[in-house]
Amino acid sequence: MRKIPYLNIVLFVLTFFSTLTVGAMHEGIDLVSEPIKIYKGWPFSIALLLILLFHEFSHYLASKKHRIEASLPYFIPAPTLFGTFGAVIKMKSPITTKNALIDIGASGPIAGFIVSVIATVIGLSFSRIMPVHDAVNVISLGDSLLFKGLARAILGAVPDNQDIYLHPVALAGWIGFFVTSLNLIPVGQLGNWMADISSMLF
């Protein structure tokens, strides 16, 4: 009988609330005085979780396609600027062919990248250009050439002394690009560690 993946579910729920919190704060909500308004963070949270879900489940489904056993995604909640450290899966059996290695390795970044582009385009269409001196308490993020190109195509050239105030969905798209690039860094040991905890607790 297949065990219920309690740890995967708990971590996903915690990550939902951690990203929901970050999204609400991005909207300027003071969660100390108005905790009920945490729901306003849902556009950021849903967009980011969808990017991570497509990324990790593409790895998972590619593993199943090649009959390689893999865990379900482990989401990693974190009190950070993004509300999460991403998600990982654990390979439970050896990858036996080069085709399987390429399919499994490439499927996640490709899927995550596509959803990130969609989120970025949607989010930028709701973003606005504002004077820099009005953007108080706003963190400035570096842009990739792709992100800059999409922003210019959707919003046009940004005048001097002005900048783009990103809609939460566009911010999630930016993070999606960042997470996709981080996928090149091996984090398999983190997945192994979390999977080991799962086997011990559940």
For the stretch 19-39, pLDDT in tens is 999 999 988 888 889 889 999
Confirm if 69 and 49 have CB atoms less than 8 A apart. Answer: no
pTM: 0.82
Cα–Cα distance list, 76 to 8, 11, 141, 202 (Å): 10, 6, 22, 18
- Retrieve residue 44's tokens: 């950021």
Structure tokens at 148: 């800059």
* Residue of 40, 52, 27, 29 whose CA lies nearest to 173: 52
User: Looking at the predicted structure, is the pLDDT value of residue 5 above 80?
Assistant: yes
Tens of pLDDT, residue by residue over 72-108, are 899 999 887 889 988 888 888 888 788 888 888 888 8
Count helices and strands in the chain by DSSP H and E runs: 6, 4
Model confidence at 191, pLDDT cuts 50, 70, 90, reads: very low
DSSP class of residue 91 equals: B
